[in-house]
Structure 1
Amino acid sequence: MDIEEYENFKNKHLQHPITFLTEENLDKLEDHCRKAIHYERGVEHQVVLELLERYKEFLTEREEDKKKIEELEDENRVQKHQIMQVFDRGYIHKDKIREIINNRKERLLKGKKTYTNKIRINELNMISKLLEDK
């Protein structure tokens, strides 16, 4: 690697340091910091270790959130399908379905402002639009 390639590499990873953090790099950095703390008693190494732990917690929370979102999307697809089946068969009047959807949206809007609630509200809005089209 020549100087120009090194500078490009360094600039790229200084702008986007997260892309450089792979599982292997994190483990190496963690091992290095643990050894450095043991031998040097360096405070900066303790800070890096704490940041690594927080980053790992962030990654696990992110994975859990992705799983929750996928589950909610599946759940919303089922609800949407069931509502449309009921509507297509004519079991419930269109106005009653609108009322149910609006009540559900109001409860979601009154609740916490979470990403999952936004997904649910978007799904309910899509169902409302489908009802308007029919």
Structure 2
Amino acid sequence: MVTGMSNLASTYYEQGHWGEAGKVHFQVMEISKEKIGPYHRDTLASMSNRASTCRGQGRLDEAEKPDMQVMEAFKRQFGADHPDTLWSMSNLAATNYNQYRWDKSDEVQVLVIKAYRKMKLQADYSR
């Protein structure tokens, strides 16, 4: 059921129906928190989707808190250099950028690029 709802929300989002997408993303997030827990990867993805929808609607203050929560949760679970953490950091940087907080945005993006390079180097050496 949650997968179907998430797909519906994504369809709404892609069609530019952000209000409807936001409502469904919120429902998915709440159901996920209840059924699989607040720190499960799928719950965190639904929180990020909700934040992305808020960002698309220009509701940037509503996007910032879940972006931050998702980033902190991924850092705790997987570490600062994990791809999911980097992805969530990039989302937070986008929110900061859209809020005209360019210094904060740049700071986070620099961290993302450094960690990505570190991952790439590690992958290159492991071949």
TM-score by length of 2: 0.35
TM-score by length of 1: 0.33
Larger Rg: 1
